[in-house]
Chain A
Amino acid sequence: MNYRLVARIAGVLLLVMAVALTAPLAVSLHCGDGAQYGLALSAVVMLAGGLLLRNIVGRGAEYAMEARESFWITAVAWIAVPLCGSVPYLFTGVLSTFTDAAFESFSGFTTTGSSVVARPEEIPRGVLLWRAITQWMGGLGLILFVVALLKRLNRGSLQLYAAEFSGTQQRKLHPHISKSVSRMWRIYTLITVVLVVLLAAAGNGWLDAVCLALSTVSTGGFMTAQYGLSGYSDLTLAILTVFMFLSGVNVALLYNLFTLRWRRLRVNHEFALYTGLFLFAAASCAVAFAASGNGVGESVRYSLFHIASTLSTCGFYTDGPSHWPLWTSAVTFLLMLCGASAGSTGGGIKLRRLMTLSIYLRNYLTRMVHPHVVFSVKIDHKVVAGDYVNKIFGFVFLYICFIIGGAFMLTFSGQGIADAFCYAAANISNLGPSPLINSLGANLDYAMLPSLAKWTLMALMLAGRLEIFALLAIVSPSYWRSRR
Chain B
Amino acid sequence: MRRRMEWKVLLRSMGIVLMAEGVLMALCMVPAWHFADGTLGAVGICSAFTLAVGALLWLLCRRHTVAEDRRMSYLTVVAMWVVLPLFATLPFLATGATGSFTVAWFEAMSGVTSTGATVFADVAALPSSVLLWRSMTQWFGGFGVVLLVLALSPRLGINKYALYTAETSGADNSGRRAVRTTVTVRRTLGVYLALTAAFIVALWVSGMQMWDAVNLTFTNISSGGFSVNSDSIASLTPLQQYILTGAMLLSGVNFSLLYLLFTLRWRQIGHKVDQLRFYLVLCLLAVAFVVGVLHWQGGYGWEEALRLGTVQTVSALTTTGSVAADTTQWWTPAVFLLLMLSVCGGMAGSTSGGMKVMRVLILLRNARSIMRNRLHPRVVNPVRLNGSPVSNHITNNVMVIFMVYGFTLMAGVMVLMLCGIDATESIGATVGCLTGYGPGLGASGGFGSYAAFTPAAMWFCSFLMLLGRLECMTVLVLFLPGFWRR
Question: Which A positions have Cβ atoms within 8 angstroms of B?
Answer: 67-68, 71, 166, 326-327, 330, 333-334, 357, 360-362, 364-366, 368-371, 386-387, 389-391, 393-398, 400-401, 404, 407-408, 411-412, 414-418, 420-421, 440-442, 469, 472-473, 476, 478-479, 482
Contacts and interface: CB of A to CB of B under 8 A. Distances in A.
Across the A-B interface, the 10 shortest Cβ-Cβ residue pairs: A441-B423, A418-B423, A393-B399, A394-B370, A330-B414, A411-B332, A411-B333, A390-B392, A418-B424, A365-B480
A330 B411 CA distance: 9
Contact of B375 (A412, A414, A421, A476): A476
24 contacts: A166-B374, A330-B414, A330-B418, A360-B400, A364-B400, A365-B476, A368-B70, A369-B74, A369-B480, A386-B392, A389-B392, A393-B400, A393-B403, A394-B367, A394-B370, A397-B367, A407-B336, A412-B332, A415-B332, A417-B335, A418-B426, A420-B336, A472-B371, A482-B376
Interface of B: 70-71, 74, 332-333, 335-337, 339-340, 363, 366-367, 370-372, 374-377, 392-393, 395-397, 399-400, 402-404, 406, 410, 414, 417-418, 422-424, 426-427, 441, 473, 476-477, 480, 482-483
B170 to A, nearest CB: 11
A74 to B, nearest CB: 12
Contacts of B367: 394, 397-398, 401
Given A334-B410, A360-B396, A368-B74, 17 more contacts: A334-B414, A361-B403, A369-B74, A386-B392, A386-B396, A389-B396, A393-B403, A394-B367, A395-B370, A397-B367, A411-B335, A415-B332, A421-B427, A441-B423, A476-B372, A478-B376, A482-B376
B340 A408 contact: yes
Contact of A326 (B375, B418, B476): B418
Contacts of A420: 332, 336
A366 B74 CA distance: 12
Main secondary structure of the interface of B (DSSP, over half): helix
Nearest to A479: B375
A369 B396 contact: no
The main secondary structure of chain A at its interface with chain B is helix
A412 B333 CA distance: 6
Contacts of B424: 416-418, 441
Contact of A414 (B332, B473, B477): B332
Contacts of A357: 400, 403
Nearest to B417: A326
Given A326-B417, A421-B427, A400 B406 contact: yes
B476 A417 contact: no
A170 B367 CA distance: 22
B70, B74, B337, B403: residue with the most chain A Cβ atoms closer than 10 Å: B403
Nearest to B474: A368
A456 to B, nearest CB: 13
Contact of B482 (A369, A387, A404, A469): A369
Contacts of A371: 70
Contacts of B397: 364
A365 B477 contact: yes
B429 to A, nearest CB: 12
